[in-house]
Amino acid sequence: MRAAAEDLCGPDAEKLYSSDTRDLLAFFVTLRRLLRECGVHDFTFADLYKPNHARLVKIFSYMINFIRFRESQTEVIDEHFNKSQRTKLRIEQLYDEKETKEIQLADLERNRIATQRLLQEKEKRYNDLKMRLRELGKEQEVVQEKVARAKEQQHSLKAILQKKYEDKENITREVSKLKPYTEQSPTALEDALRDLNDRLLNDKSQIESLDRRARALQTSSEAFGVVAADVTSCTRLLTDVQADLAKEEEELAKASRHADALTDRSNNVRDIERQERLLQKQLGNVNARMDKIKKKADDEAEAARKRMEELHDTHTQLTKERGEKGRDMEERRVKIEQTEKKMAQLKDSIEAEVHAAHDEYIKMESHIKLYITEMEQSI
């Protein structure tokens, strides 16, 4: 009642009217709304506090006809009401499904963005590893060049060492040849020469007797002179040989140092070869990891592509279903509007028939009253 009074008089109804007046006004509003639904559009407040017979007959007739019409059309009304309720429930269900699908689509979109970010990171790592692999390849080429130069130096040092060894053998043979000449000392040779001179002086007394022996002694003295010259030359040669031996020892020391350096170079070469094998092993591991990462990235990209295709198909199917449901709802709405129009037309036709019947009833009642009046007058 209060809501009806506020609907009629506004929020200041408490100040304008008492509670009884308000309840009466609310009752009037409610009753007028009910009678408007029954077909009585000219209901006034006078029909409440001062009704006449004709108005009461009309109002109750409209109410009875409306109740009969409603009872006769209850199944149709309930059917259309149930259809509208089912349609409303279906719309709510479809709306909920739409929100669920939108949430799923948003989740899938986030997953796609996350997967794309991971793919970009993996691609970046792949490019970094590729650049690192290229750098390792360049370093490997540099190491191979160093190894090649070290091998060339090793071969050249081996050739030099072989040559020095051959020179040493030759010098050793020459020294062994000259060694017997160096066993006799110059003092011993001078003593022998002095003895020979003494003998020569002793023999000079006999030279005069024997010319042949004198010539022989002369020949011997010349021979001894040649031998002395040879001894002098041998002494000089021995000095030269000692100098050569000192040089050879220096060269042997240099050769030993070169051999040590060559050994160090060989060790360095072996270390470089070992590092090269380690680098090749690391390169193989990196290549294997790169292949594995590339394969995994390809698999993930393929899975993401398939998932995107599935999402696209699902989105297309949802769009199609939404369009079909929209068309179905539009058709149902058109059918409901047509049914409402038919019901309104039927209601209008029934109201027209009721009005016509009521008019006929009033006419008959007036005729009957007139007939009764005439009969009473005649009696």
pLDDT in tens, 211-231: 565 565 556 556 556 655 665
* CB contact at 8 A, 200 and 192: no
- Residue 148, domain member (yes or no): yes
pLDDT top residue among 358 and 186: 358
* Same-domain pairing of 34 and 156: no
- Residue 199, domain member (yes or no): yes
* Same-domain pairing of 169 and 274: yes
Tokens standing for residue 139: 């370093």
pLDDT top residue among 14 and 98: 98
* Same-domain pairing of 163 and 280: yes
Q: Which of 292, 311, 330 is the last residue of a domain?
A: 311
- Residue 345, domain member (yes or no): no
- Residue 97, domain member (yes or no): no
* Same-domain pairing of 150 and 268: yes
* Same-domain pairing of 52 and 151: no
Cα 293 from Cα 127, distance rounded (Å): 12
* Same-domain pairing of 53 and 149: no
Specify the 3-state DSSP secondary structure of 228: helix
Cα 5 from Cα 14, distance rounded (Å): 9
Q: Which of 311, 346, 373 is the last residue of a domain?
A: 311
Per-residue pLDDT, 281? 80
pLDDT top residue among 243 and 96: 96
Q: Which of 21, 36, 59 is the last residue of a domain?
A: 59
* Same-domain pairing of 167 and 270: yes
- Residue 164, domain member (yes or no): yes
Per-residue pLDDT, 175? 65
* Same-domain pairing of 168 and 291: yes
- Residue 349, domain member (yes or no): no
> Could you read off the pLDDT of 104-136 as tens digits, one per residue?
888 888 888 888 888 888 888 878 888 887 888
Tell me the whole-structure pTM to 2 decimals.
0.27
* Same-domain pairing of 41 and 156: no
- Residue 377, domain member (yes or no): no
Residue 250 clears pLDDT 70, i.e. is over it = yes
- H-helix or E-strand containing 78? helix 74-183
The alpha helices in 39-73, defined as continuous H runs, are 46-49, 53-72
Per-residue pLDDT, 161? 80
Domain that includes residue 277, residue range:
141-311
Per-residue pLDDT, 207? 62
Residue range 147-154: average pLDDT?
81
Nearest Cα to Cα of residue 332 among 128, 83, 122, 104: 83
* Same-domain pairing of 156 and 302: yes
Per-residue pLDDT, 10? 67
Residue range 192-214: average pLDDT?
62
- Residue 297, domain member (yes or no): yes
* Same-domain pairing of 31 and 152: no
* Same-domain pairing of 35 and 154: no
Residue 202 clears pLDDT 80, i.e. is over it = no
Cα 107 from Cα 101, distance rounded (Å): 10
Tokens standing for residue 129: 């590893």
Name the domain count of the chain: 2
Average pLDDT value for the chain = 75
**Confidence at 60, pLDDT banded by 50, 70, 90:** confident
**Distance of alpha carbon 160 from its chain centroid, rounded?**
60
The percentage of residues in the chain with a pLDDT greater than 70, rounded to a whole number, is 69
Cα 232 from Cα 279, distance rounded (Å): 68
pLDDT top residue among 237 and 260: 260
